[in-house]
Amino acid sequence: MEHTAGKIGVFDSGYGGLTILKEMRRALPDYDYLYVGDNARAPYGTRSFDVVFDFTRQAVEELFRRGCHLVILACNTASAKALRSIQQHVLPVGYPDRRVLGVIRPTVEAVGEITRTRHIGLLATPGTVRSHSYRMEIEKLYPEMKITETACPMWVPLIEEGEAYGDGADYFVKKYIDAIMTEDPEIDTLLLGCTHYPILLPKIEKYVPEGVRVIAQGGIVGDSLADYLRRHPEMDARCSKNGTVEFLTTENAAIFDRLASLFMETPVESTRITL
Ligand code: DGL
């Protein structure tokens, strides 16, 4: 069947997916991207499985309606709680030719190359931690590895409220890093398992003990998308390539633009949509 080429859809509950989008554009600058941030309903990290699945499905279907053939869930919470159901139940029934990919598997694959002590720490939302998706993937790929999972419920609200660079954020950044390093002092690699967290990176690095590496997912996901498109030329042919990016948000566009421009380090002009 002939397909009209479409943009690559990128979805997150809010601003976090921008850290992934930025790196995807670095790895694949020629492609077109359509970003949806569900800022009006963020954060997702404290919501139940059913709700995260419903919200994520709505966003994915909106991206499909707008012509995307490939959608990246640039959100760990959505990848943990909705990806499998979408792949197994939504795509085969309504969209057999479209694909939805998450961020957890490529991140876990990459982390095996990095840790020396084989003790890693995961900092993520309560939802991702409760799903144990990272633990399960680690057990499959590296059964010898020890993973400690710590939920950081205050980090996403700080970012969504524009407080990431304020002095108040320091208290909560230090609190969760101290907690995970106390639980397992042998950790040499801390994985930021929430796409919002790289926005806090300058503060996170301030409180991480020397010798411990902090891993953000953006670069890993960008490289893994490039690899996916190389291995799937039929999907690559369905991705349009004019080097553009368009932003959609469920919140007030002016509010989104202000913070998104700060996080993207380039002016952003979004359109408000309803899911
Ligand atoms: N950025 C998301 C993640 O990677 C979710 C944050 C949230 O909405 O709680 O988990």
Maximum Cα–Cα distance across the chain: 56
Amino acid (one-letter) located at 240:
S
Burial category of 223 from C-beta neighbours within 10 Å (exposed 0-12, middle 13-18, buried 19 and up):
middle
Q: How confident is the model over 159-180, as pLDDT tens digits? A: 888 899 999 999 999 999 999 9
Q: How confident is the model over 27-79, as pLDDT tens digits? A: 999 999 999 999 999 999 889 999 999 999 999 999 999 999 999 999 999 99
| Tokens standing for residue 6 | 């479409």
Verify whether ligand 1 is closer than 6 Å to residue 102 (CB atom): no
Verify whether ligand 1 is closer than 6 Å to residue 13 (CB atom): yes
pLDDT band at 153 (very low <50, low <70, confident <90, very high): very high
> Can you give the pTM of this predicted structure?
0.92
Q: Is 239 a catalytic residue?
A: no
E strands within 213-254?
Answer: 213-215, 245-249
- What is the DSSP annotation of 86-152? IIIIIHHHH-TT-EEE-SHHHHHHHHTTT-SSSEEEEEE-HHHHHHTHHHHHHHHH-TT-EEEEEE-
Verify whether ligand 1 is closer than 6 Å to residue 156 (CB atom): yes
Alpha-carbon separation of residue 88 from 62, 145, 229 (angstroms): 19, 29, 21
Mean pLDDT value of segment 248-254: 97
Average pLDDT, the chain: 95
Probe ligand 1: pick from 11, 12, 191, 251, max atoms within 8 Å of CB?
12
